[in-house]
């Protein structure tokens, strides 16, 4: 972002950057003092202020709120980043009405569409002819679940000519997920290094350590998520399996979810037409590679052995289900403004299950059932239709 501003000939004096893990910012008052001094010296018609790793400063929102309310930030665009989403989110909630709303962005592993673009533009892992032409066709193909069902089906027909190449790329995505460092490993070493795996696992446990929780307990809970992957599960069953208090399990799962490591997929209450937080949940990782990382670390297997075992097993459809649920969640999620629990659920009754019910803007639902196999038979496509009709 800073480079982009400089390329647009923004005066370098009007761009201020500070990293709170490189410069010792002692308190929010100290942060206010630093920014105030900068603006008094270099303040212009428009200043850009970038504050990295702001979550290292306790109660940083007090500082920015004080500067904003005093008018010092009237001619400023302030961008703050932090690697601890939980604390970042808590502080943001303390700044209502100060330009924060709808300006919060969470950096997550890339989804499949972005992955296709990145792989074809910046990588040589896959070799195809006429890359630019393929990408232009991709640009014109977008399926919106808010549209009529007929237009959605027509979009699928348009995608079919691109299917062979998309399938090749998807097979790679199933192994690497949306993590750039994994693709880099494959490109450089033709394999994924355990050093990279350990680095990613440490990132997964990063918030746990910063929140003064036990990494060993976290590892056990992550292992249970893998064992029960994509299956309805309760906090109590995990707690019972690990001899833990259910509140402890809930606490760790909330940290993982707010750190964007997992998705907790809730069941819908048909009678109330809303989410049921008490029923069993389905838990997915936000990126397929997180699953492989946990399996590798917990089992002691080399990551490449884990990939061979799971990419050719009957477990693969569950990995794909997690990818689809994450994609649906991202379609219209906006931090604080619109949580995914307002539009995405799963359905289950005594006759069957629907992997995802997507609530459209017109309050109607579209059911999404994920089947990843060559020839799915009709018995795999049975759904509890009566209950769904009740909601429609």
The domain locations on the chain are 2-92, 109-191, 196-391
- Give the pLDDT confidence score for residue 116 in this predicted structure: 92
pLDDT at 137: 85
Quick check: 224 and 272 in contact, CB under 8 A?
no
pLDDT at 114: 92
Distance between CA 310 and CA 308 in Å, rounded?
A: 6
d(CA 191, CA 197): 12
Q: Enter the pTM of the model.
A: 0.82
> Over the chain (392 residues), what is each successive 10-residue block's mean pLDDT?
90 92 86 92 91 85 87 88 70 60 69 91 80 85 81 83 91 93 91 94 84 93 96 95 96 91 92 86 96 95 91 85 94 75 90 90 89 70 49 42
pLDDT, position 139: 84
| Cα–Cα dist 253/186, whole Å | 31
Residue pair 263/327 in contact (Cβ under 8 Å)? The answer is: no
Per-residue 3-state assignment (H helix, E strand, C coil) for 73-130: CCCEEEEECCCCHHHHHHHHCCCCCCCCCCCCCCCCCCCHHHHHHHHHHHCCCCCCCC
pLDDT in the model for residue 386 = 44
Residue with the two structure tokens 């630093």 = 34
Same fold for the pair 2-92 and 196-391: no
Helix H or strand E encompassing 181: helix 180-189
CB 260 within 8 A of CB 106: yes
| Beta carbons of 367 and 354 less than 8 angstroms apart | yes
Task: State which CATH number among 3.40.50.300, 3.40.50.10320, 3.60.15.10, 3.40.50.10470 fits the domain covering 2-92.
Answer: 3.40.50.300
CATH of region 196-391, choose from 3.50.50.60, 3.90.1170.50, 1.10.10.10, 3.90.1150.10: 1.10.10.10
What DSSP string describes 122-161? H--SS--S-HHHHHHHHHT----TTS-HHHHHHHHHHHGG
């Amino acid at each position: 972002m800073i480079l982009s501003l400089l390329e647009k000939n923004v005066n370098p004096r009007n761009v201020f950057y500070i990293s709170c893990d490189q410069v010792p910012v002692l308190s929010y008052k100290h942060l206010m003092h630093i920014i105030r001094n900068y603006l008094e010296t270099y303040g212009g018609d428009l200043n850009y202020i970038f504050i990295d790793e702001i979550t290292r400063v306790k109660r940083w929102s007090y500082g920015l709120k004080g500067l904003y309310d005093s008018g010092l930030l009237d001619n400023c665009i302030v961008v703050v980043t932090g690697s601890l989403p939980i604390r970042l989110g808590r502080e943001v909630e303390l700044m209502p009405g100060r330009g924060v709303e709808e300006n919060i962005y969470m950096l997550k592993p890339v989804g499949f569409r972005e992955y296709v673009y990145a792989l074809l533009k910046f990588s040589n892992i896959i070799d195809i002819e006429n890359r630019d032409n393929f990408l232009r066709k991709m640009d014109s193909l977008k399926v919106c679940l808010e549209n009529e069902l007929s237009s959605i089906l027509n979009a699928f027909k348009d995608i079919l000519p691109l299917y062979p190449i998309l399938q090749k790329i998807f097979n790679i995505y199933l192994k690497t997920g949306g993590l750039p460092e994994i693709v880099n490993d494959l490109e450089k070493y033709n394999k994924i290094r355990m050093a990279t795996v350990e680095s990613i696992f440490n990132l997964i446990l990063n918030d746990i350590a910063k929140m003064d929780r036990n990494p060993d307990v976290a590892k056990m809970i992550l292992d249970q998520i893998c064992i029960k992957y994509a299956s309805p599960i309760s906090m109590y069953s995990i707690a019972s399996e690990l001899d833990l208090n259910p509140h402890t399990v809930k606490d760790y799962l909330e940290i993982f979810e707010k750190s964007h490591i997992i998705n907790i997929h809730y069941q819908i209450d048909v009678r109330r037409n809303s989410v049921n937080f008490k029923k069993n949940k389905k838990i997915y990782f936000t990126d397929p590679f997180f699953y492989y990382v946990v399996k590798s670390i917990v089992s002691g297997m080399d990551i490449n052995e884990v990939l061979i075992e799971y990419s050719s097993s009957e477990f693969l459809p569950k990995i794909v289900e997690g990818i689809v649920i994450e994609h649906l969640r991202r379609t219209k999620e906006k931090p604080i403004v619109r949580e995914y629990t307002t539009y995405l659920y799963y359905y289950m009754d005594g006759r069957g299950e629907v992997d995802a019910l997507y609530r459209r803007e017109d309050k109607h639902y579209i059911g999404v059932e994920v089947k990843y196999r060559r020839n799915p038979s009709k018995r795999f496509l049975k759904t509890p239709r009566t209950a769904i009709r009740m909601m429609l």
